[in-house]
Amino acid sequence: MSHVPSRVLVTGAAGRLGSAVLRVLAAQGVAVVGLDRVDPGGVETFFTGSAADVDLVAEAMVGVDAVIHLAAIPRPTLGAPEEVFITNTSTTFVVLDQAARAGVRRAVIASSLSITGLPFSPKPAVPDYVPVDEAMPLQIADPYALSKQADEATAAMVVRRDGMAVVALRFPMLGEPEFLVEEAVVHREDPGSRVNSLWGYLDMRDAAMACWLGVTADVSGAHALYVAAPDTISPYPTADLVARYLPGVPVRAPLPGRSVPIDTSAATALLGFTAAHHFEITPAELT
């Protein structure tokens, strides 16, 4: 049986995904508390500051019954290695720890496909197999991927300690339709340039809906789930891409057409998530 929260705290609320989540929550008629370093306006209750500020987060948590934690440095290139790791892990610990102390029972945190170690690896790396799934061993070699591993471990800790339910969504590249058109051009002209991201993507609207499902679906415990659109952002057949750019990598399931080499069946089974917005590539869009 699903649970609909009455008041949700969204950290990173001023970001691209945070803004999309706010729109989903507004459409659901749910009261929202926002927290970010910059107030974008339009949110009745907003706390301006860092999600690592214990006192600020504790204040923002009053009356909240679910949390969607998105605040993070989203790439390892956007800060010194120690800054990326410390910022991301400290905010996640503070938010989940304070949520548990406030009696919040449901949380979603933003993890990433980057936890595989592939997208930002400082040296050549390939998946153990495709489609990748939650059972595949991680190959972490950068501070951002390491921070996501620590975030998921923090989620597991509060679940064991406090009995919360926490869903970590392993997002691929996220984007609005206009951004995806630009990315499709890159993929057409240099199909191997995004091999480390497995050519995956997710429309920002679907990413926001996945967050909503994460706090409303009938789940317990800690879960890390890959989410992605069912097709790739590349105009080329996936089987051909894998054969050319991931030679020798075992293919465990058929990859017909442009099907993404990321197994999202766990998210479908647990949350009922399927992407509603598919990027249909047409010649006109790629000229």
CA 61 to CA 41: how far, in whole Å?
19
Identify whether the C-beta of residue 13 lies closer than 8 Å to the C-beta of residue 35: yes
What does the pLDDT read at residue 42? 87
Identify whether the C-beta of residue 69 lies closer than 8 Å to the C-beta of residue 92: yes
Please, what is the end-to-end C-alpha distance for the chain in angstroms?
Answer: 47
What does the pLDDT read at residue 283? 47
Number of C-alpha atoms within 13 angstroms, CB side, residue 66?
Answer: 24
Q: Are strands 31-36 and 7-11 parallel, antiparallel or unpaired?
A: parallel
% of residues, the chain, pLDDT over 70:
97
At residue 182, the 3 state secondary structure works out as helix
Length of the chain: 287
Identify whether the C-beta of residue 67 lies closer than 8 Å to the C-beta of residue 212: no
pLDDT tens track for 208-264: 999 999 999 999 999 999 999 999 999 999 999 999 999 999 999 999 999 999 999
Domains and CATH numbers, the chain: 7-174+201-230+259-271 (3.40.50.720)
What does the pLDDT read at residue 41? 87
Q: Are strands 106-112 and 165-171 parallel, antiparallel or unpaired?
A: parallel
pLDDT tens track for 46-81: 999 999 999 999 999 999 999 999 999 999 999 999
Active site residue 144: yes
What does the pLDDT read at residue 1? 56
Residues 146-168: what's their mean pLDDT? 98
Annotated catalytic residue, options 129, 144, 226, 245: 144
| pLDDT classification of 282: cutoffs 50, 70, 90 | low
pLDDT tens track for 169-196: 999 999 999 999 999 999 899 999 889 9
% of residues, the chain, pLDDT over 90:
92
Return the amino acid letter for 142: D
pLDDT of 88 above 80:
yes
Kindly report the average pLDDT of the chain as a whole number: 95
What does the pLDDT read at residue 284? 46
pTM: 0.96
Residues 133-144: what's their mean pLDDT? 98
CA 180 to CA 175: how far, in whole Å?
6
